[in-house]
Amino acid sequence: MKKQILSEISRVRQIMGLHEQFITKEKIGEDKVDVVVDVPPIKGTYTPASSDPTSFIGESVTTIMTAIDNTQKAAEKLAEGKLQLVDINVKAGASNVWDSDDGATNYDVDNNYEPTTEGEDQTLDSAGYGKNVTLAEERANTYIEMVIPLLDTAGLNISEQISKTPDTVVVNTGGELDRDRDENIYPNPGQVLILTLSFMYTDVIEQFKETCEPGIEITIAVQGVAVDEHECDEAIFKVSVNGAKIGIANLNNGVLDRYIDGGGWNKMKSIWPKEQLGALQGTFQENWYRNLPGRNSPGRETDKVQGGKRSWTTMIDTEDEKFNWGEENILEITPLVFNKGKNSYVEIKGGTDVQLCGPQAGFRPCGSHSEVPKVTIKNTPVEGQLTTVYDTQPNIGKLTFGSTDTTELLRMDDCGVPIEVVEVSPN
């Protein structure tokens, strides 16, 4: 999961043109890169009971170097002189016969070099099997000691701490020496070397941890009826990060909000007929509306135009434990406007439910119905400076009428950069 999240973060930074100065880097370690080269089985040409690989060891080095050339990263590092051999595992084989008078011995693998239990048959020669195992081990050890200098000469770096692992198998060749086996039934020889070579790039990849200053600024806004079709007085939201409340965004920009700013009820009732105002008019109600949740927040800004721009801005201290700030952080909003019957209300301080909307003929239903708010995020590459890293509408769709459900706006990395950026289709 972590790798996927970091990949998305990198992609978003490219899309948005973000630069490395938005973050600081701290080296936390380095990593050496390993690679395994698959070497095909090397067929030996030992004389019976011999462990000397001289007759074929040169050809085996060619096989190894060809396998390296066919392994892209290994070939690149070999050309740079940076490929270091750190482990050589040699599984040496012997045919399942020791003395023709005693017949076939037990064996470990079938003729395709696959492990099998059939070779455990008690009618097979176990004493000869033990001698074959000893011979195979001698072949493995001898080959390892002889091939390492040759690989060094071929351009490989040999680690001073190289791990040398000899291993053994007795191969089912029908109880015959390789030269005498029936190749129609047993096509593969018992005198074989199966190699696994592990290499390490001798250069290192440095690991860095990217960190940001702890201040992240969040702005939740509506852009006005001409831009996002928002014009209402039922857009009051609790805003949370990782489930912890950071404040209330009051984005009301309808007639009630406009006339509280523009002269109060006396001016309002000269424009709205009394029959439309109904029970909502009067100085008593006016005081309630002046103190709706979030309306007097120091982070709230308004152009005081009906159907105009409204926004709310706050700083998040990402070091505050209540936010549980980490590599992935969820920004959410929860409508505070709720419906009772056909009317909508919001609770103000003291527990009073203030009516915001009553049904009107030819008008929309009451209830929270905000279009997708615009979100702006700024982080602090250095203390006291803010840099915009996000400034658009998250792709969440419209909130339904009357919804009081918590809605995820977006997810941010530890620098406040959204992990995914998807443009909203025009309304």
- pLDDT per residue as tens digits for the range 387-415: 888 888 776 555 566 778 888 888 888 88
Q: Whole-number mean pLDDT of the chain?
A: 80
Helix (H) / strand (E) element for 79: namely helix 72-79
Comparing CA positions, the residue from 255, 257, 228 lying closest to residue 398 is: 228
The answer on pLDDT for 81 being more than 80 is: yes
**pLDDT (average), residues 143-168:** 89
Residue found by looking up tokens 């029936």 in the block: 182
Instruction: Summarize pLDDT for 221-275 with one digit per residue, the tens.
Output: 988 888 877 888 888 999 999 999 999 999 988 878 877 776 555 665 555 544 4
Residue found by looking up tokens 């072949």 in the block: 139
Q: How confident is the model at residue 372 (pLDDT cuts 50, 70, 90)?
A: low
- pLDDT at position 380 is 75
Cβ pair 316, 323 in contact under 8 A: yes
- pLDDT at position 66 is 92
What does the domain layout of the chain look like in residue ranges?
A: 33-207, 213-412
Considering only 2-6, 133-137, 297-301, which range has the smallest mean pLDDT?
2-6
φ/ψ of residue 15, rounded to 5 = -60, -40
Query: 214 in helix, strand or coil?
Result: coil
**pLDDT (average), residues 306-329:** 90
Give the CA radius of gyration of the chain.
Answer: 38
**pLDDT (average), residues 369-379:** 77
Query: 45 in helix, strand or coil?
Result: coil
**pLDDT (average), residues 88-112:** 92
- pLDDT at position 413 is 85
**pLDDT (average), residues 320-344:** 89
- Strand 387-392 relative to strand 236-241: parallel, antiparallel, unpaired? unpaired
- Report the alpha-carbon distance of residue 240 to residue 388 in Å, rounded: 20
Amino acid at residue number 231? E
The answer on pLDDT for 360 being more than 70 is: no
- pLDDT at position 4 is 39
The answer on pLDDT for 385 being more than 80 is: no
Residue 49: CA count within 13 A, CB half-sphere: 5
**pLDDT (average), residues 309-313:** 92
- pLDDT at position 27 is 59
- pLDDT at position 421 is 44
- pLDDT at position 10 is 44
- pLDDT at position 396 is 58
Q: How confident is the model at residue 43 (pLDDT cuts 50, 70, 90)?
A: confident
Instruction: Summarize pLDDT for 210-221 with one digit per residue, the tens.
Output: 667 778 899 999
- pLDDT at position 176 is 94
